[in-house]
Structure 1
């Protein structure tokens, strides 16, 4: 994050030429797709098949080993029954001006992002369950370069919350700066000393509302049909993935405080938390809100022309961060853990109620 990551800026005609040259396919339809720092295109081929052409930003393109690991992880999840993309061919690179960019052609997955549908308790439960299944499968991944995923100074890792301090000046004059400083202090004092009690794993690291696709199911609800964007994959902890999932689902729900219980119940149907992980969940969710806010503000200083996209999550997150902070850990955890307990009660034949719904506005 210390320097500008050059976002590719290929024209449609250049992309058509790229697809022909690198993948031996002829586009019949092509249009751009949104991206935080890369350049993405939808491609339908005359020869058959639908794809996403992903041109990586200049910084990520410097590490082809990391890109290859991400591709391998997606394929491994796909083989194990999770709806991840697979690569059409191995990563290639292409020159463009004075920059070099890595290029991947991935299968196109159908569906809408989960941000566009109502987040019912059942869908939130499925999000938690899918996130846990994903990390459990990734734990079995074998690759000679797995150590590359340790990414020690990766700014989006929840292990690196203290690194946010170097960007705090972007909040100068904002009353939320004191909240962020307090969260970082809580992280240092109440989370960091407990890492030896967390269970390690590989994290997707960005299991958010724009990286999960859904399609209608036969019961008038939705099922998860796609998991996208493994660019933030890193060696982390199960509790990190859960905290990230809860945080992003909160930003898309009219009653954000209630979200955590449903996601937690889905997660624990696969991977029950230990006591230390439960103790740290609240601060880790707050920490992710702080990451989103601070790093989005910083990214806008580097790429002001992309402000609308960069601030999507953090604009909503500001209000939820303040709400969580004002309610406090005890109040929020009570909602989360009581709600999650109702799912286990229902499994034992006890009636499921929604008595905590609507408590916070």
Structure 2
């Protein structure tokens, strides 16, 4: 991200001043939360509420309609029974405010929202039992089915032509391959991209369209234990990567990220797939492309993280979270091959579904 479209870098006193001035609340506690392109703060107020203050990076802050749709989506899911955050109105009754802030390199405009704080533990910190993975797959499918019913006057902004995180735009990764120069994984990535172009692109007419959350990962899903000590999803976070996509994209993304924290990653696909198909069964073409799309998401995540580190080296530890384990998983999955991987996933999914 270029300097003029930078990630915000407010200190805690600036964040506190924003909360007081824009939302008329009195922070009693404020602390930074990890983030990728934006800046987030946990805020507890003297009035008794808990919130997340979200300051968008200056580039995304320019797209008012996109942020409006993302904010509306969270409310729509919340009203439909899924645990998404909602935005608190500003003193003037709006759900967002464009603020001019100096983070140390001159004033820039950043879009600011105060979102409800959802309790729970991120999936990344929990043992990924088959039941928990099943719930993740089921919830991801429910979310996309609900989003498919949503209407909004600016919904067209989700087309996001050229959006590098969309699984419709895997070919764009070729422009970033140079950051892997000297790494043997670069050849695997080239092969995956080529396989996408030759075996997936032609199948898109048979994929079912929908709106994707686009980043259903182990840090964006919160869970809490229920009365039976099983875990239920208590929060779905971060709608910044929403785009017009396909059901199969969301499933591929969910499987890929859940593999990162699992001691035996190949075991993830079956239960996630079973949970997904309990809500939205795949057609044969979608099933045939799932393996390659999961590999593609690995390539997106690993390659774009390396690229981001070249722009923001100080944030390397957070940016490279996926890479620490993901590099090996991608290589292993590629070497295992499509046939063996699909056999493991689809047999496991069938067995899991039979037990339900």
Q: Does 1:300 align with 2:309?
A: yes
Q: Distance in 1 between matches of 2:48 and 2:212?
A: 33
Contact 1:292 1:313 in 2 (8 A): yes
Deviation at 1:287, TM superposition (A): 0.2
Aligned counterpart, 1:264: 273
Q: Distance in 1 between matches of 2:195 and 2:4?
A: 30
Q: Distance in 2 between matches of 1:255 and 1:304?
A: 31
Does the residue aligned with 1:59 lie in a helix, a strand or coil?
helix
Structure 1 window deviating more from structure 2 (39-48 vs 157-166): it is 39-48
Deviation at 1:84, TM superposition (A): 0.2
Aligned counterpart, 1:210: 219
User: What aligned pairs does 1:138-217 form with structure 2 within 5 A after superposition?
Assistant: 138-217=147-226
Q: Distance in 2 between matches of 1:154 and 1:4?
A: 19
Q: Distance in 2 between matches of 1:52 and 1:258?
A: 34
Deviation at 1:5, TM superposition (A): 4.2
Q: Distance in 1 between matches of 2:218 and 2:133?
A: 11
Q: Distance in 1 between matches of 2:328 and 2:217?
A: 18
Q: Distance in 2 between matches of 1:99 and 1:192?
A: 40
- Runs of at least 5 residues in structure 1 that lack an aligned partner in the other structure: 348-361
Q: Does 1:288 align with 2:302?
A: no
The change in CA–CA distance for 1:4 and 1:200 in structure 2 (over 3 A counts) is farther
Q: Distance in 1 between matches of 2:4 and 2:99?
A: 20
Q: Does 1:95 align with 2:100?
A: yes
Q: Distance in 2 between matches of 1:4 and 1:163?
A: 23
Aligned counterpart, 2:337: 328
Deviation at 1:51, TM superposition (A): 0.5
Aligned counterpart, 2:328: 319
Q: Distance in 1 between matches of 2:256 and 2:151?
A: 29
Does the residue aligned with 1:103 lie in a helix, a strand or coil?
strand
Q: Distance in 1 between matches of 2:294 and 2:5?
A: 27
Deviation at 1:58, TM superposition (A): 1.3
Deviation at 1:345, TM superposition (A): 2.1
Q: Distance in 2 between matches of 1:20 and 1:220?
A: 39
- Runs of at least 5 residues in structure 2 that lack an aligned partner in the other structure: 90-94
Q: Distance in 1 between matches of 2:87 and 2:16?
A: 18
State the TM-score, normalizing by the size of structure 2. 0.96
The change in CA–CA distance for 1:11 and 1:169 in structure 2 (over 3 A counts) is same
Deviation at 1:48, TM superposition (A): 2.2
RMSD value, Cα:
1.1
Q: Distance in 1 between matches of 2:67 and 2:305?
A: 23
Deviation at 1:219, TM superposition (A): 2.0
Q: Distance in 2 between matches of 1:318 and 1:255?
A: 14
Deviations 1:290-328 (A, max 9, x none): 001110010000001110000001221100000001110
The change in CA–CA distance for 1:221 and 1:59 in structure 2 (over 3 A counts) is same
User: What aligned pairs does 1:59-74 form with structure 2 within 5 A after superposition?
Assistant: 59-74=59-74
Deviation at 1:344, TM superposition (A): 2.7
Aligned counterpart, 2:240: 231
Q: Distance in 2 between matches of 1:318 and 1:264?
A: 23
User: What aligned pairs does 1:32-111 form with structure 2 within 5 A after superposition?
Assistant: 32-89=32-89, 90-96=95-101, 97-111=106-120
Q: Does 1:254 align with 2:259?
A: no
State the TM-score, normalizing by the size of structure 1. 0.94
Deviation at 1:99, TM superposition (A): 1.3
Contact 1:4 1:302 in 2 (8 A): no
Aligned counterpart, 2:21: 21
Deviation at 1:109, TM superposition (A): 0.2
Contact 1:155 1:163 in 2 (8 A): yes
Deviation at 1:174, TM superposition (A): 0.6
Deviations 1:157-185 (A, max 9, x none): 00000000011110111101110000000
Aligned counterpart, 1:7: 7
Q: Does 1:275 align with 2:284?
A: yes
Deviations 1:262-293 (A, max 9, x none): 00000000000000000000000000000011
The change in CA–CA distance for 1:334 and 1:3 in structure 2 (over 3 A counts) is farther
Number of aligned pairs? 347
Q: Distance in 1 between matches of 2:49 and 2:313?
A: 36
Deviations 1:65-91 (A, max 9, x none): 111100000000000000000000211
Deviations 1:93-123 (A, max 9, x none): 1112331100000000001111111000000
